[in-house]
């Protein structure tokens, strides 16, 4: 799986090698070395990729694999890339210019260039044009796009699998909040006398009582804690449960924000923990909107002006004649999905609709009917019928777990899909010239 981060690292590491390879091969007569379905792999592509791979291997180890094995691996990689690019084009996928520009800006910024122009000047001095780099970025992004689209669609996560994960220790860690913790340690060693242990425990209890009565945790930590973070007020920073000793994790899980644990005994002494703040893992309150609409599509016989006039007349009937919105929607709306429900779209979370529709819903009071507005689907009037705050924490959590499970299976399913592409492909592999 090609992540944007890996993509950028690969491009930067190979940037000058690409240019060097391009110059070296410009003196050679290029030729086809593999026919891949309707596409080809060229000798120049093979030489450039092999040079990059050799450089990468030499930076990691002095031991090079046998050249015949390296040649085969490079060839397999290029064939697989060509097959994936063909699939992307078959599905009509393209890389938007904006995405390409953002990738270039990220590369330039990560290499301390103030602008794309400065970056372009630098790489041109190495013999590589910005157009060539854009082409390589587009190629890699397109491969990533088809991988995500096809492979994720092949992965199915069941509700039972989600339940099993949530019940597991992995699930407990992955779905836990992040905690910002305060810590006070009253140190006592295992070899201390019973009297010293009792005194330490009593001191911890006294501090706990003071905290319950409103004492400042940071001040007590600075004054009394034996932990290395004492001078920072005992602030441990942000931690996840899996970054804490099990003894601490068990206590922290049950602390509300602002609460302090009772003294916890460990081999190092007695600990007081405060949940200063936490993020994630809590309620996910979302404002939901319920709306209904009437859609009039533009066509050869329904231009924009006529569509608006028709909707304005329907709006007049609603406001002046107290017409029934549901009846008008069933009689006039061209949105097949909602017309039979009187235009009702049900409860909607933010982001469910196109931007124009979202804006109309957000700026309309309950009971109000909008004037005609245009979206990619046509012209609408819309009425907001209700709003509510809904806790979607369970839905959000289950969606998060489903994504974790999909991510775990992605690499394996990607290999299966790539193998299927290879098995179904027409390949005509020519002999590689020896250039050692």
Token digits of residue 11: 């491009």
Instruction: Find the mean pLDDT for residues 400-411.
Output: 88
Please check whether residue 330 is in contact with residue 340, taking contact to mean a CB–CB distance below 8 angstroms.
yes
pLDDT band of residue 4 (cuts 50, 70, 90) is: very low
Residue 390 phi, psi dihedral angles, 5° rounding: -125, 135
Give the CA-trace dihedral at 326, 329, 330, 336, to 10 degrees: -130
- 3-class secondary-structure state, position 79: helix
Token digits of residue 376: 């990619």
- Residue that terminates a domain, selected from 279, 313, 337: 279
DSSP 8-state assignment for residue 281: S
**Which of 44-58, 290-304, 411-425 is predicted least confidently?**
44-58
Longest dimension (CA), the chain: 96
Whether 5 has a pLDDT exceeding 60, the answer reads: no
- CA dist 119 and 238 (Å) reads 37
Whether 335 has a pLDDT exceeding 60, the answer reads: yes
pLDDT band of residue 20 (cuts 50, 70, 90) is: very low
Assess whether 4 and 55 both reside in one domain: yes
Angle at which helix 4-25 crosses helix 43-60, to 10 degrees, equals: 120
pLDDT band of residue 209 (cuts 50, 70, 90) is: very high
- Quick one: pLDDT at residue 26? 42
Assess whether 195 and 150 both reside in one domain: no
CATH number of 113's domain: 1.10.4030.10
- CA dist 18 and 301 (Å) reads 56
**CA-based radius of gyration for the chain:** 32
Assess whether 253 and 303 both reside in one domain: no
Mean pLDDT over the full length of the chain: 85
- Residue that terminates a domain, selected from 236, 252, 279: 279
Contacts 24+ apart (CB under 8 A), 405-411: 405/157, 405/161, 405/162, 405/165, 406/152, 406/155, 406/157, 409/155, 410/1, 410/151, 410/152, 410/155, 411/1
Instruction: Find the mean pLDDT for residues 311-326.
Output: 95
Whether 3 has a pLDDT exceeding 50, the answer reads: no
Please check whether residue 66 is in contact with residue 80, taking contact to mean a CB–CB distance below 8 angstroms.
no
Domain of 258?
Answer: 177-279
Token digits of residue 108: 């330039």
- Quick one: pLDDT at residue 312? 96
- Residue that terminates a domain, selected from 261, 279, 297: 279
Angle at which helix 97-110 crosses helix 130-154, to 10 degrees, equals: 110
Assess whether 345 and 362 both reside in one domain: yes
Assess whether 186 and 169 both reside in one domain: no
- Quick one: pLDDT at residue 417? 93
Assess whether 18 and 155 both reside in one domain: yes
- CA dist 260 and 274 (Å) reads 4
Assess whether 379 and 413 both reside in one domain: no
Domain count across the chain:
3
Q: Where is pLDDT greater, at 239 or 171?
A: 239
Whether 355 has a pLDDT exceeding 80, the answer reads: yes
Instruction: Find the mean pLDDT for residues 31-36.
Output: 89
Q: What is the pLDDT of residues 337-350, one digit of tens each?
A: 899 999 999 999 88
- Half-sphere exposure in the Cβ direction for 395 (13 Å, CA): 7
pLDDT band of residue 21 (cuts 50, 70, 90) is: very low
CATH number of 354's domain: 3.10.50.40
The order of strands in the sheet holding 269-279 is 235-239, 178-187, 269-279, 264-266
Please check whether residue 269 is in contact with residue 187, taking contact to mean a CB–CB distance below 8 angstroms.
yes
DSSP 8-state assignment for residue 94: -
Assess whether 65 and 45 both reside in one domain: yes
Please check whether residue 83 is in contact with residue 36, taking contact to mean a CB–CB distance below 8 angstroms.
yes
> How would you write 170-230 as a 3-class SS string?
HHHHHCCCEEEEEEEEEECCCCCCHHHHHHHHHHHHHHHHHHHCCCCHHHHHHHHCCCCCH
Q: What is the pLDDT of residues 87-136, one digit of tens each?
A: 998 888 888 888 888 888 888 888 888 888 888 888 888 777 788 888 88
Assess whether 310 and 225 both reside in one domain: no
- Quick one: pLDDT at residue 102? 86
Please check whether residue 207 is in contact with residue 191, taking contact to mean a CB–CB distance below 8 angstroms.
no
| Length of the chain in terms of residues written | 436
Token digits of residue 125: 């001095």
- Quick one: pLDDT at residue 120? 86
- Quick one: pLDDT at residue 52? 80
- Which residue shows structure tokens 């304005």? 312
Whether 14 has a pLDDT exceeding 90, the answer reads: no
Whether 300 has a pLDDT exceeding 90, the answer reads: no
DSSP 8-state assignment for residue 367: T
Assess whether 149 and 28 both reside in one domain: yes
Q: Which of 22-36, 79-93, 325-339, 386-400 is most confident? A: 325-339
- Quick one: pLDDT at residue 72? 87
Assess whether 90 and 151 both reside in one domain: yes
Whether 401 has a pLDDT exceeding 90, the answer reads: no
Token digits of residue 334: 């061209």
Assess whether 321 and 206 both reside in one domain: no
- Which residue shows structure tokens 């109000």? 368
- CA dist 240 and 137 (Å) reads 36
Ramachandran bin of 104, using left for φ above 0, alpha for ψ from -120 to 50, beta for the remaining angles: alpha
- Quick one: pLDDT at residue 207? 96
pLDDT band of residue 433 (cuts 50, 70, 90) is: low
């Amino acid at each position: 799986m090609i992540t944007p981060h890996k993509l950028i690292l690969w491009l930067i590491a190979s940037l000058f090698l690409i240019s060097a390879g391009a110059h070296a091969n410009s003196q050679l007569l290029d030729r086809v070395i593999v026919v891949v379905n309707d596409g080809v792999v060229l000798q120049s592509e093979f030489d450039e990729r092999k040079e990059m791979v050799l450089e990468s291997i030499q930076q990691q180890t002095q031991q090079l694999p046998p050249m015949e094995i390296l040649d085969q691996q490079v060839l397999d990689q290029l064939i697989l890339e060509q097959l994936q690019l063909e699939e992307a084009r078959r599905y009509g996928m393209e890389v938007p210019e904006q995405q390409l520009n953002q990738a270039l800006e990220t590369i330039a910024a990560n290499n301390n260039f103030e602008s794309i122009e400065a970056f372009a000047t630098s790489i041109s001095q190495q013999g590589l044009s910005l157009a060539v780099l854009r082409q390589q970025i587009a190629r890699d992004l397109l491969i990533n796009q088809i991988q995500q689209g096809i492979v994720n669609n092949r992965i199915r996560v069941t509700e039972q699998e989600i339940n099993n994960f949530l019940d597991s220790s992995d699930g407990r860690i992955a779905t836990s909040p992040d905690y910002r913790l305060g810590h006070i340690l009253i140190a006592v060693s295992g070899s201390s006398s019973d009297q010293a242990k009792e005194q330490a425990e009593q001191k911890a209890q006294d501090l706990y009582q003071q905290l319950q009565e409103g004492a400042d945790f940071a001040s007590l930590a600075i004054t009394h804690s034996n932990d290395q973070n004492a001078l920072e007020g005992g602030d441990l920073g942000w931690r996840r449960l899996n970054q804490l000793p099990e003894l601490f994790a068990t206590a922290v899980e049950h602390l509300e924000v602002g609460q302090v644990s009772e003294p916890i005994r460990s081999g190092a002494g007695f600990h007081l923990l405060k949940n200063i703040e936490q993020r994630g893992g809590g309620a996910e309150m979302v404002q939901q909107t319920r709306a209904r609409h009437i859609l009039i599509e533009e066509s050869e016989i329904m231009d924009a002006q006529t569509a608006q006039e028709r909707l304005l007349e329907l709006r007049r009937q609603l406001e002046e004649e107290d017409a029934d919105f549901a009846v008008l929607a069933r009689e006039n709306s061209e949105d097949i999905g909602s017309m039979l429900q009187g235009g009702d779209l049900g409860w909607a979370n933010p982001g469910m609709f196109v931007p124009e529709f979202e804006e109309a819903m957000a700026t309309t009071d309950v009971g109000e009917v909008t004037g005609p507005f245009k979206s990619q689907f046509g012209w609408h009037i819309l009425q907001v019928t209700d709003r509510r705050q809904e806790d979607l924490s369970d839905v959000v959590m289950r969606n998060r777990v489903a994504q974790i499970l999909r991510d775990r299976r992605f690499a394996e399913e990607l290999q299966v899909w790539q193998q299927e592409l290879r098995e179904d492909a027409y390949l005509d592999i020519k002999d590689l010239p020896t250039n050692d």
